[in-house]
Amino acid sequence: QGYISLNDIEHFVLDEADHMLDMGFIHDIKKLLAKLPNKRQSLFFSATMPPSIVSLSQKILGDFERVSIKPTQATAERVEQGVYFVTKKNKIKLLIHILETDNADSVLVFSRTKHGADKIVRLLDKAGIKAAAIHGNKSQNARQRALKHFKEGTIRVLVA
């Protein structure tokens, strides 16, 4: 809308490029790029780049360099993975069942929120399963203590 000058922009960075382009922001991005100086570095970042988005990026960027980073191995060989389809109300019941029937010494549980992590720990403790949460609302000392107990085996489940 002309409120700021974009003449001195040297770098244009678009994170989650696949989502931005896929969600229909292509026209807005093209308008913005047209207002930027021709001499600039444009960087598009994305965890996935389907062929359609690569093609679209090529049209926008012209001659570009694609850099792909792939892990040497997908997961650690000793890490067992599984997928369970469960309703929201049965998640904690399933987690408790898995923890009670599995003989794993150490278990990491990931929660979407800090509040959710604390709630999981409370429910596990109520079920007699020793657990601790680590997240940004905990003091550094509390996080280190929880990690220490987890490594020592006094706490079996660490919720992050």
Q: What is the CATH number of the domain that holds 100?
A: 3.40.50.300
- How many other CB atoms sit within 10 Å of the CB of residue 14? 21
Same domain for 105 and 56?
A: no
Same domain for 95 and 147?
A: yes
> Rounded distance, CA 142 to CA 134, Å?
8
- Looking at the domain assignment, is residue 2 inside a domain? no
pLDDT tens-place string over residues 102-159: 888 899 999 999 999 999 999 999 999 999 999 999 999 999 999 999 999 999 999 9
- Looking at the domain assignment, is residue 71 inside a domain? no
How many domains is the chain partitioned into structurally? Answer: 2
Whether 98 has a pLDDT exceeding 90, the answer reads: yes
The two structure tokens encoding residue 1: 């809308």
Backbone φ, ψ for residue 70 (5° rounding): -120, 140
Q: What is the pTM of this model?
A: 0.53
The band of 74, judged by pLDDT with boundaries at 50, 70 and 90, is low
**What is the three-class DSSP state of 107?**
strand
Which residue range forms the structural domain that includes residue 45? 11-61
Contact 42, 61 (CB under 8 A): yes
- Looking at the domain assignment, is residue 103 inside a domain? yes
The two structure tokens encoding residue 17: 């490029």
- Looking at the domain assignment, is residue 77 inside a domain? no
Same domain for 56 and 95?
A: no
> Rounded distance, CA 159 to CA 94, Å?
15
Same domain for 93 and 155?
A: yes
- Looking at the domain assignment, is residue 73 inside a domain? no
> Rounded distance, CA 60 to CA 73, Å?
33
Contact 121, 133 (CB under 8 A): yes
Whether 42 has a pLDDT exceeding 80, the answer reads: yes
Last residue of a domain, one of 45, 61, 77: 61
